[in-house]
Structure 1
Amino acid sequence: MSLFDFASNLGKKLFGSDEDPAEEIQKHIESDNPGVDGLKVTVADGIATVSGSAKDQAAYEKAILMAGNVQGIQEVKADALHLEDKTAANVEYYTIESGDSLWAIAQKHLGNGNDYTKIFEANKEVIKDPDLIYPGQKIRIPLEK
């Protein structure tokens, strides 16, 4: 599963049948704006399209993850999300599985469970509480260069 693909039946429930999905996802991203100016979100047939200007790779990825980790979204398109600073960060993406904890993920991917705080900090807009992650949620794992 790439950064842009998500499980539509999993994720945070942000909107009901009487609410505008695009408006609710846009509010969700703006509430903890990871660094995107001129944010605009549209949704059609389970596909969220995100546009604007992301200050760096982390902001770009977090906006995509925040939109995609929403129930009902199966894909995020970000062709119109401009990346200002194109300095590449060394990250990988991980989809939370049942029974996972940030500690276990850090142990597996970073070699030390105590480094769960690095994963939390790299996802603070995506994960509100390090103890409240859910299966299907996609996160960034920062890797050492």
Structure 2
Amino acid sequence: MSYQRPDLRLAPSPTSESAAFWTGGRNGELLISRCHACGHFFHPPGPACWRCRSTDVAPQKVSGRATVAAFTVDRQPWIPGFEPPYIVAIVELAEEPDVRLITNVVDVEPDDMNIGLEVEVFFEDWTALSGEEDTRVWIPLFRPVTH
């Protein structure tokens, strides 16, 4: 199965805290917030670490490797131009499994999808409406790791 980019995707409106996450894909980087005090990654991005409450946090590049923790196959046409079936998954980052992202997994047949599947990130470049202006974002999607 070869991935076909949808005609439409609901794009985010980045905030000052989430901008690095949504724009890191410009350079092929998945940027996840990391606490400099306790060393843990966390997502979604925020002004403080939820573990130790330190505000010494910043985005850091991760490998982009993850494991599928849960998924569903959506067969309902909810968004015109975003045709089913498609897979919505929760993936656990290789660097820290309790850091999870909700994403689409592509390039895999729905019947072949499984929990534990190793996946890697790639990015789709989109324009999002942010307030009164357009903002480019790079949405992280995942596909099976090819060994």
After TM superposition, is the score higher than 0.5?
no
Q: Higher Cα Rg: structure 1 or 2?
A: 2
Tell me which protein shows more strand as a share of its residues. Answer: 2
Tell me which protein shows more helix as a share of its residues. Answer: 1
Question: Structure 2 length as normaliser, TM-score?
Answer: 0.25
